[in-house]
Amino acid sequence: MATKKPDLTSNTAGIISPNPFWLASAPPTNSGPQIMRAFEAGWGGAVWKTLGQPVQNVSSRFGGLNYNGKRNIGFNNIELITDRPLESNFREIREVKREFPNHALIISLMVETEKEWEDIIARTVDAGADGLELNYGCPHGMCERGMGSAVGQEPEVNKRLTGWAKKYAEKYSPGLPVLVKLTPNVGDIVPNGLAAQAGNADGVSLINTIKSIIGLDIDNFVPVPTVGGKSSNGGYCGAAVKPIALHMVGALARDPRFNIPISGIGGVANWRDAVEFILMGSSSVQVCTEVMLKGYRIVEDMICGLEEYMISHDFQTIDEMVGKAVPQFSNWGDLDLNYEVIAKIDADKCIGCYDCVVACNDGAHQCMFVAEPGADGVVAKRVPIIDESECVGCNLCQIVCPVPDCISMVQVDNGHAPSTWNQHLAGEGQLRYKKGSH
Amino acid sequence: MTRLSQARSESVFKDFKPAYDANHAVVEANRCLYCIEAPCQIACPTKIDIPQFIRRIATDNVKNSAKTILSSNILGMSCARVCPVEVLCVGACVYNEMNQPPIQIGKLQRYATDLALEKGWRFFEAGEDSGRSVGLVGAGPASLAAAHELRRHGHAVTVYDKRDVVGGLNTWGVAPYKLRAEDALAEVDYVLGIGGIDVQLGIEVGDGEFSDLSWADLEAKHDAVFLGFGLGEDSGLDVPGLDLAGVHGAVDFIECFKTGSVDLSWARHAVVIGGGNTAVDAVRELKGLGVAEVSLVYRGTEAGMSGYQHEWKAAKVEGVRASWRSQPLAFLGSERLLSIHCARLGDDKQPTGDTYTIAADLALLAIGQGKLGKIIAGLDGIETKWGRVVVDETGATGRPGWFAGGDCTNGGKEVVNAVAEGKAAAAAIHAYVTRTNATGGA
């Protein structure tokens, strides 16, 4: 039976793209020729690098975070918005739309006054944008001038500016979708998402970069990237920020008051990351860092990987996937405290490194031990011993084990019915005996 | 001290296992699982804390990595290159258990120790003068390791060697695609850098016809003695034609091209007799020196050869062939070797009656080296067995104050075994010369 090819078309607040993969507003979307090459490579949409009063940038601008010999697991930058003349940007926007009418072209904007917002929106709409993205996220440089994350961190300001933008978008192009790009540099993302919604935004994009210092030059006592002997905080991004981004996307997606679409951003490097963001409530995903490191060509793998996933899970459309995991994103207080797993080791697969023993004893709950020598004083096989009566099922041994499927966490029946902390507070249910707490 | 010839034939050899650059070293170091009770460390005769030194490479703490290595094995640089890691640390790596490439421990150790030598990082100082003196016979790895350890205790140390080359087999016997003589000498300089190790070259100790210093004089000069004089000359065969030009002992031949220059442009067919590690080294060396056809003649089988299988496999890849279950009956030719007449052996290693002749203009005998126990056998209390000096686990002989280690006691093992034995003996010597009733004189 021939499998029906899934439909990758994505709809984010009325912005339609042939697939959910957009380039985020950043250096890869700095110019028309770049974006046209990206569309040719397969990207479904692109958010144009933020337009505003063109800036003067510093040199150098980027820094990479390396870990255990792996380069650039995280990344940061101190580059600002566009430094190119607005006229050039608008001319190229027209060219891109003429060449690629069916791709999504969203223009990121950042200005200060209402007058400036009206002016730039009018010119952007005239150039032919499919949507606007209001940059309230940039945590470096622009925020010192009262823009970027300085707006995104104040729900009231966010709402007021969004209101302006939406008003002028309606005036110059009725129905034009407006997204608000949120900053993660806040204690709670929800009020900021709700502020955008209250300002009549059609959707939100998140996360922008995280305020960061990527590292120091320890010989010269200066953070990097270094600009003439000094540095400044930058915006952190790349694979390492995905967990923060996924949480913020999920926090909005599950909030009953929040009901506008999300374009997910933050550490998306491959199809699997994209699937995670979509299942967590994103209608599209935006990518920057991985493209900066590997180029536009990565989208080919993202497309076929996503298709393969959709086929294997019987999804026909992206919409069927959006938010599929959100109901399972629960409060801690609603987790079943009587659910119990313990670690089991497959002795045939174990290679005897004892990394799990070290982790359990130094970093967890001390229930694993090295194999005892036999009567002959020789250890027959280096397989750790687990004291199951003390195993709390924390997963650390499984996480550090270098052998696939060697340690598994197996559910045990302790005879207790499910019971949560919130039920316990309400005087309901009975909690099981606590392990590893003596 | 030792001056090497500028034109040495060994210089044509490239490293069989090329050095890591910093990036490769860090990536490989980060693969290490950092085991506890690590099988690699258990497998190392010198018990280097391998997970620790690798962790330090992983974090760009290379100086302390080198310190970790050299604290256990002062000849860690040469051992990194010449150790048969495939049957020691690397062979014990737990990655082997999951069919993943094991950590390249030797290459990582080389990375750290090369840097230590290059940068001149020094970690050890001579101890305060103890007033005790130790004489060491032989300037190879066992004696050097012992001497360095003894200097840390502050004992005066004199090393004697009958050759005019310091370093022993590391300098004149190790395959050059593993370790070149100049690198071995650089390491010797590094070891001697602790100061106070008096190396007396060209001094043969013993009671033989050409000896420069008698055993009695040696004993009189020092509070303790360490014997690390290694093995003797290549063993011969009881067959005709050994005196033909083109027939050499393998160890002797290797020394010639490592410390000097040999011209093999005339050689077409080289045959190495033997199946041990010297034989396997020799065939690879002859290939590397440009001999077109190189083969091995061995009385045993491929599976039963004592040479390491991983080394022999490399030799085969380089084009070496072998005749198993064969043994030379005569080396034929007039003045120069032309061919070798061989007997075929059965599984019982007895001649089957079949014979054959192979063309050969160069033959190297690699069937073992003479044991030198006899040179010392006359001394009261010193026991020898199969030509080896008999010692206990501390390296002590039966004669008070006399210790021994390395090939002369173990019959010919690895450099790392010699280092371990030298180090152990140094501890025993230190205990001996500082014992409460020590009165001086061995």
Closest by CA position to A418, among listed A428, A409, A410, A427: A428
Q: State which amino acid sits at residue A114.
A: E
Into which CATH architecture does domain B247-365 fall? 3-Layer(bba) Sandwich (3.50)
Residue of chain B whose alpha carbon sits nearest to that of A352: B94
CA distances from A387 to A365, A383, A416 (A): 11, 13, 21
Model-level pTM?
0.89
Please, what's the largest Cα pairwise distance for chain A?
88
Nearest CA among A345, A400, A405, A351 for reference residue B95:
A351
Asked if B18-119 and B247-365 have one fold, the answer is: no
Q: Do B98 and A402 touch (CB under 8 A)?
A: yes
Spell out the domain ranges in chain B: 18-119, 133-232+372-438, 247-365
The answer on pLDDT for B440 being more than 80 is no
Q: What is the mean pLDDT of residues B361-366?
A: 98
The stretches in chain A having pLDDT less than 70 are 1-3
Q: Which residue has the tokens 């004149």?
A: B172
pLDDT above 70: percentage of residues in chain B: 98
Provide the total of helices (H) and of strands (E) in chain B, helices listed first.
16, 15
With CA atoms as reference, the chain B residue closest to A356 would be B35
Mean pLDDT value across chain B: 95
Q: Do B36 and A357 touch (CB under 8 A)?
A: yes
Burial level of A376, CB count in 10 A (0-12/13-18/19+)?
exposed
- Contact between B342 and B329 (Cβ < 8 Å): yes
SS3 content of chain B, % helix, strand, coil (to 5): 35, 20, 45
Give CA–CA dist A203/A336, Å, rounded: 34
End-to-end Cα, chain B, rounded Å: 28
Provide the pLDDT for residue A68.
86
**Has domain A332-425 been given CATH number 3.40.50.300?**
no
Rounded Cα gap, residues B12 and B176, in angstroms? 9
Res B3 pLDDT > 90: no
How many CB atoms are located within 10 Å of the residue B186 CB? 16
Cβ-Cβ contacts under 8 Å for B191 (sequence gap 6 or more): B74, B75, B144, B145, B147, B148, B197
Active site residues of A: 138
Model confidence at B113: pLDDT above 60: yes
Q: Any CB–CB contact under 8 A between A73 and chain B?
A: no
**How far off is chain B from A354, nearest CA to CA, in Å?**
6
Distance CA B379, CA B390 (A): 13
State the smallest CA–CA distance between residue B30 and chain A in angstroms.
6
Q: What pairs with residue B356 in β-bridges?
A: B342
pLDDT of residue A2: 54
Residue B403: the pLDDT is 98
- Provide the token pair at A414: 């302790």
Residue B73 DSSP label: -
CA angle A44–A45–A46, rounded 5-degree value: 145
Residues 6+ apart with CB under 8 A from A135: A25, A50, A81, A108, A109, A110, A142, A147, A148, A181, A208
Percentage of chain B exceeding pLDDT 90: 94
Q: Does A354 touch chain B (CB under 8 A)?
A: yes
Cβ-contact B133, B104 below 8 angstroms = no
Token reading at A65: 């975070």
Q: What is the DSSP string of B408-420?
A: HHHSS--HHHHHH
Closest-CA distance, B58 to chain A, in angstroms, reads 7
| Residue contact B95–A382, C-beta within 8 A | no
The fold for domain B18-119 equals: Fumarate Reductase Iron-sulfur Protein; Chain B, domain 2 (1.10.1060)
DSSP helix/strand/coil, B356: strand
| pLDDT of the residue at A149 | 87
Give the span between the Cα atoms of B314 and A195, in whole angstroms. 70
Q: Which CATH number fits domain A10-328: 3.30.70.580, 3.30.379.10, 3.20.20.70, 1.10.3370.10?
A: 3.20.20.70
Query: Helix (H, G, I), strand (E, B), or coil: what is residue B382?
Result: coil
Cα–Cα distance measured from residue B113 to residue B107, given in angstroms and rounded to the nearest whole number: 10
Q: Is the dihedral of CA A49, A264, A294, A65 positive or negative?
A: positive
C-beta of residue B379 within 8 angstroms of C-beta of residue B225: no
Q: Which of A162, A130, A141, A119 is nearest to A55 (CA)?
A: A141
User: Do A345 and A300 touch, CB atoms closer than 8 A?
Assistant: no
Question: What integer is the mean pLDDT of B339-366?
Answer: 96
Mean of all residue pLDDT scores within chain A: 96
Task: Provide the pLDDT for residue B199.
Answer: 98
- CB neighbour class for B272 (10 Å; exposed up to 12, middle 13-18, buried from 19): buried
Condensed to tens digits (0 to 9), the pLDDT of residues B382-412 reads 999 999 999 999 999 999 999 999 999 999 9
User: Closest-CA residue in chain B for A68?
Assistant: B30
Average confidence (pLDDT) over B348-362? 96
Looking at the complex, does the CB of residue A69 fall below 8 Å from at least one CB of chain B?
A: yes
Q: Is A402 on the interface with B (CB under 8 A)?
A: yes
The answer to whether the CB of A350 falls within 8 A of the CB of A426 is no
Residue A371 sits at the chain B interface (C-beta within 8 Å): no
Can you tell me the distance from the alpha carbon of A337 to that of B146, in angstroms, rounded to the nearest whole number? 62
Smallest Cβ distance to A351: which of B30, B58, B97? B97
| Domain B133-232+372-438: assigned CATH number | 3.50.50.60
Q: Where are the domains of chain A?
A: 10-328, 332-425
User: pLDDT at position A247, please?
Assistant: 98
**What residue of A is the nearest CA neighbor of B40?**
A353
Q: What is the ipTM of this complex?
A: 0.83
Q: What is the 3-state secondary structure (H, E, C) of chain A?
A: CCCCCCECCEEECCEEECCCEEECCCHHHCCHHHHHHHHHHCCCEEEEEEECCCCCCCCCCEEEEEECCEEEEEEEECCCCCCCCHHHHHHHHHHHHHHCCCCEEEEEECCCCHHHHHHHHHHHHHHCCCEEEEECCCCCCHHHHCCCHHHHCCHHHHHHHHHHHHHHHHHHCCCCCEEEECCCCCCCCHHHHHHHHHCCCCEEEECCCEEECCEEECCCCEEECCECCECCCEEEECHHHHHHHHHHHHHHHCCCCCCCCEEEECCCCCHHHHHHHHHCCEEEEEECHHHHHHCCCHHHHHHHHHHHHHHHCCCCEHHHHCCCCHHHCCCHHHCECCCCEEEEECCCCCCCCCHHHHHHHHHCCCCEECCCCCCCCCCCCCCCEECCCCCCCCCHHHHHCCCCCCEEEEECCCCCCCCEHHHHHCCCCCCCCCCCCC
Res B1: pLDDT: 64
Asked if the Cβ–Cβ distance from A351 to B26 is below 8 Å, we say: no
A contact test, residue of B26, B32, B36, B56 with most A CBs within 10 A: B36
Tell me the per-residue pLDDT of B12-67, one tens digit each, with 9 for 90 and over: 999 999 999 999 999 999 999 999 999 999 999 999 999 999 999 999 999 999 99
